Every structure is written in C-alpha cells, then in structure tokens.
Structure 1
Amino acid sequence: MNFMNTYTFKQHFEESLKDPEFRKLWAESEVEYQLSRQIIKKRLDKKISQQELAKRAKTTQAIISRLENSSFNPSIHLLKRISAGLGSKLTINI
C-alpha cells in the first residue's frame, strides 16, 4: 500500500478553514464543542455514568448524551444543575 499520497484529516481541516463559510460555521460550533468536551472530561474524571449525572442533575440520560454529542442547546438552568451534579460551579466568560 502506498501512503505517500495520503491526505490527512489535519490537511483537510486546514484547507477547509480557508473557506469563509466553513470557517464561520466552525467558529459558531466551537462553543458547543468545548462545552461538551468539558462536561465529558469532568464526568469521566469523577467516574460517573451519564445515568448517574442525569440523576444528580434531575434530567434524563438522553439529555446528557445529546449534550455531550453537541446536539442539544441547554438552558443556563440545566447547565447549573449539571455543574452541581459534577461538583462544580458554572462560570461563563464573555
């Protein structure tokens, strides 16, 4: 197999960022991506399941899953409950 002509994801991503429309959409989704990564990291650090976090946050496992997959826009109220369920405090910087 010849891998000399392999086009990596990084190369594809860097090329895609040259497109203004893609760059705009990427920037708009960055907040959701970072939020989901932080929730996943904190949950795994605490060694709790999505189900346990949902119970602590008084929501459903499906909502936690959707939030972790960036397919759900939560309210500030829900984020506060999730933060509390993770033993953290919600902070927002602008």
Structure 2
Amino acid sequence: MIYSQYLKERFKDPRFEKLILEHPERYQVAIAIIKTRFRKGWSQRYLAKKAKTTQAVISRVENMNVDSTVRLIRKIAVALGKRLEISFVFPA
C-alpha cells in the first residue's frame, strides 16, 4: 500500500476526521511519521525496533490516540533519520 492509498482508507473512517479537527497537532505528528515511514518502506514494527519502543506505541501515535511526549516524538524522528523541530504559530 502506498501513502496516498493509506490516507484514503483512513478518511473513510469518520472518527479520523473528527480526531484531526479536535487534535490538529496530533495529526501533524502522525502524518509526518506515516509519510516518512512509507517513503522508507518501513513497517510500524521495524520503526518501533529502530526507535526502541513497541509497535503498539507507534500505532497509537499514528492513529492519534495518544498525546505523545516530545521525548517519544524525538526518538521516532531520530529513528527515521530526521530532526524534530517545534514552532509556535499565531492563530488564524
């Protein structure tokens, strides 16, 4: 499955859109992880191993079911070969 197909499947679930509206920051984190993971061709299990966590944790983050700590997001970013960058923006 490719990234765009994955997202189409996710948007079929009405809860997914509701989570995006309620927690846009979780969505940004989830999409960044999913997109990078798909580009690398990695499974959640493989990413979990690289990040020294469990597949269940990766799944919860990608499914926006948890308020992840900066520490966890950084571990995942490093495992993906990325650098975590956080910024504040003015509300629209």
TM-score (ref. length: structure 1): 0.69
CA distance in 2, matches of 1:29, 1:60: 23
1:43 aligns with 2:37: yes
Q: Give the gaps of 5 or more residues in structure 1.
A: 1-21
Match of 2:80 in 1: 86
Match of 1:70 in 2: 64
> Offset of 1:70 from its aligned partner?
0.2
Cα RMSD, aligned residues only: 1.7
Q: RCO higher in 1 or 2 (8 Å CA, sep ≥ 6)?
A: 2
TM-score (ref. length: structure 2): 0.70
CA distance in 1, matches of 2:28, 2:69: 16
Match of 1:58 in 2: 52
The 4+ residue runs of structure 1 with deviation greater than 3 A are none
> Offset of 1:72 from its aligned partner?
1.1
- The percent of aligned pairs where both chains have the same amino acid is 43
Q: Please give the per-residue CA displacement for 1:27-53, whole angstroms capped at 9, x wherever unaligned.
A: x41111121111100000011110010
Secondary structure of the residue aligned to 1:74 is coil
Structure number, greater radius of gyration? 1
Aligned length: 70
